[in-house]
């Protein structure tokens, strides 16, 4: 049974943002969405998440009781908020097990006392390891340092191996090659 | 001390009412600050004051009028926000509430005393109905925040994930707004507009700067507020002063040096 079945879908906000796309995603599969800026990749993710993007044509069929995790490009606004890394993970139900050692060591510190890279990795981890069946990731490599970027493909593959389907948007062709089973090239809708 | 004990015996009911609110208001303040809505505290409070004065003028119990108007505003919040430019709703409600309250106080002799009490925070007039209201607000509010606190945080920090997970939205929208509005309306009728706002604003402001995490903030804010409240209550009784300004002064006097020290400590840490 597919987690997602998308048929001739065109999503957007005021008008369709991309040409119609069709694909299916099974458990354990990783699909990369590629294409130039403005091709509607983030909009498609928002439509898949059911987060407000309008569907102009086509259809999305989701598996029953599908639990979706959605990471956008925006970092959680934690500046000035007393929230530790451990508390962020517990908010989404993510387990800290498997977190790289330097980050595991600073879980008790306030997020706004960490570096931007550490914050981004913890924010990503909080969604990546949340109890979900389908993960929608928008540029997960943004703001990560070299070590974080290097570990990302294996973390994504490990998550997929546990039966989670992943749709990711990334401009990093190397990341897409390293971990994705298939790639969907999107084009902007210029009509 | 010999002066204080008989007065405490006399004023145990208002004292307990204020103490219950001193535990609840900083908890609400933490979430209002998180949602960047602390203007709402002033707005709900001032609208509640206008409702209480209006009710008194109409011969309706003040507590009913204050709660009804404040809850009505909270219930319409999302609709009103859609009609107004960004972030204008709460300041506007505060200004309108203040204006209506003062006009009612100035023009209706019957409500003059209550009007003065609402602005000064004459806690000593709080009766049994106010004590029951405060106890109920603390019980309901504590239970609500215990059950829905995680949702409130998640909706604020990871809104896309919150919506994608289809988590219940009513606690984050109407639930919290109604709780805040009812609590603020009650608080204003006993602690005064600024006394209530001081409890909503100052302890959360401090713990946001100092607490190592959210749980610590949830524990520290009510403790800090209760300490300041107890000190203010004793000072106001002994020196026969209106309670609201004394509470605001005590909270400010406690907070300012700590906030300045925290600011410098933050600069020093960033400088390392």
Q: What is the mean pLDDT of residues B138-167?
A: 93
Q: Write out the E strands in chain A.
A: 2-12, 21-26, 30-34, 54-62, 68-71, 134-138, 165-169, 182-185
pLDDT band at residue B18 using 50, 70 and 90 as cut-offs: very high
Q: Could you tell me the two tokens for B198?
A: 């001081």
Q: Which residues of A touch B209 (CB under 8 A)?
A: 80
* Residue B73 banded pLDDT, cuts 50, 70, 90: very high
Higher-confidence residue: B2 or B101?
B101
Is B150 within 8 Å of chain A by CB? yes
If one counts every other C-beta atom within 10 angstroms of the C-beta of residue B260, the result is 10
Chain B residues touching A136 at Cβ < 8 A: 164
Q: How far is B264 from chain A (nearest CA, A)?
A: 15
Q: Write the CA distances from A52 to A166, A180, B161, B169, B263, integer angstroms.
A: 20, 27, 13, 14, 40
Q: Which residues have a Cβ under 8 Å from the Cβ of A86 and sit 6 or more positions away? A: A96, A107, A108, B213
**Which one, of B129, B138, B249, lies nearest residue B189 by Cα?**
B129
* Widest pairwise Cα distance in chain B: 64
Report the pLDDT value the prediction gives residue B48, as an integer from 0 to 100: 93
pLDDT level of residue B267 (50, 70, 90 thresholds): low
**Residue A181 carries which DSSP code?**
S
Interface-testing mutation among B31, B38, B154, B160, with chain A (most A C-beta atoms within 10 A): B160
For residue B197 the two structure tokens come to: 């706002």
Within 8 A of B215 by CB-CB distance, chain A residues are: 87
- In chain A, what are the domains? 2-185 (3.40.50.300)
Q: Which chain B residues in 27-46 lie under 8 Å from chain A, judged by CB atoms? A: 34
Q: Which residue has the tokens 């981890």?
A: A125
At residue B86, φ and ψ (nearest 5 deg) are: -50, 135
Of residues B3 and B54, more confidently modeled? B54
Q: What ipTM was assigned to the predicted interfaces of this complex?
A: 0.88
| A69 interaction partners in chain B (CB closer than 8 Å) | 161, 164-165
Residue B94 is part of a domain; what is its CATH number? 1.10.3470.10
Please provide residue A93's backbone torsions phi and psi, each rounded to the nearest 5 degrees.
Answer: 80, 20
Q: Which two tokens stand for residue A150?
A: 């290097």
pLDDT value, residue B233: 92
* Count of the separate structural domains present in chain B: 1
Domain coverage including residue B255: 4-271
pLDDT for B193-228, tens place per residue? 899 999 999 999 999 999 999 999 999 999 999 999
User: Which tens digit of pLDDT belongs to each residue from A102-146?
Assistant: 888 999 999 999 988 888 899 999 999 999 999 999 988 887 888
């Amino acid at each position: 049974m597919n987690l997602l079945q998308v048929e001739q879908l065109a999503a957007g906000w005021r008008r369709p943002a991309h040409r119609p796309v069709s694909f299916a995603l099974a458990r354990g599969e990783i699909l990369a969405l590629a294409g130039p800026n403005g091709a509607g990749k983030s909009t498609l993710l928002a439509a898949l998440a059911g987060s407000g993007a309008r569907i102009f044509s086509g259809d999305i069929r989701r598996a029953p009781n599908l639990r979706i995790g959605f990471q956008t490009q925006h970092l959680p606004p934690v500046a000035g908020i007393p929230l530790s890394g451990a508390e962020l993970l517990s908010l989404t139900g993510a387990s800290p097990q498997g977190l790289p050692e330097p980050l595991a060591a600073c879980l008790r510190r306030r997020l706004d006392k960490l570096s931007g890279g550490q914050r981004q990795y913890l924010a990503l981890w909080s969604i990546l390891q949340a109890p979900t069946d389908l993960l929608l990731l928008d540029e997960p490599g943004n703001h990560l340092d070299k070590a974080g970027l290097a570990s990302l493909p294996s973390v994504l593959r490990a998550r997929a191996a546990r039966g989670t389907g992943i749709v990711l948007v990334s401009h990093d062709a190397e990341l897409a090659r390293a971990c994705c089973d298939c790639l969907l090239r999107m084009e902007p809708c210029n009509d | 001390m010999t002066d204080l004990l008989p007065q405490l015996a006399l004023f145990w009911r208002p004292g307990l009412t204020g103490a219950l609110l001193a535990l609840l208001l900083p908890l609400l303040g933490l979430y209002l600050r998180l949602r960047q809505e602390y203007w709402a505290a002033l707005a709900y409070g001032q609208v509640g004051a206008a409702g209480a004065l209006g009710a008194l003028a109409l011969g309706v119990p003040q507590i009913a009028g204050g709660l009804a108007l404040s809850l009505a505003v909270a219930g319409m919040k999302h609709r009103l926000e859609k009609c107004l430019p960004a972030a204008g709703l709460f300041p506007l409600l505060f200004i309108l509430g203040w204006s209506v309250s003062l006009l009612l106080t100035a023009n209706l002799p019957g409500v003059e005393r209550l009007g003065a009490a609402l602005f000064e925070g004459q806690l000593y007039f709080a009766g049994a109905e106010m004590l029951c209201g405060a106890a109920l607000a603390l019980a309901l509010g504590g239970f609500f925040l215990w059950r829905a606190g995680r949702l409130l945080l998640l909706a604020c920090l990871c809104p896309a994930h919150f919506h994608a997970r289809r988590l219940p939205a009513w606690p984050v929208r109407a639930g919290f707004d109604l709780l805040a509005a009812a609590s603020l309306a009650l608080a204003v009728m006993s602690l005064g507009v600024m006394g209530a706002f001081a409890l909503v604003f100052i302890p959360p402001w401090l713990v946001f700067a100092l607490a190592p995490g959210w749980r610590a903030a949830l524990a520290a804010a009510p403790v800090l507020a209760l300490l300041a409240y107890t000190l203010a209550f004793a000072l106001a009784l002994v020196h026969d002063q209106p309670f609201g300004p004394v509470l605001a002064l005590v909270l400010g006097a406690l907070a300012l040096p700590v906030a300045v020290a925290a600011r410098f400590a933050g600069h020093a840490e960033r400088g390392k």
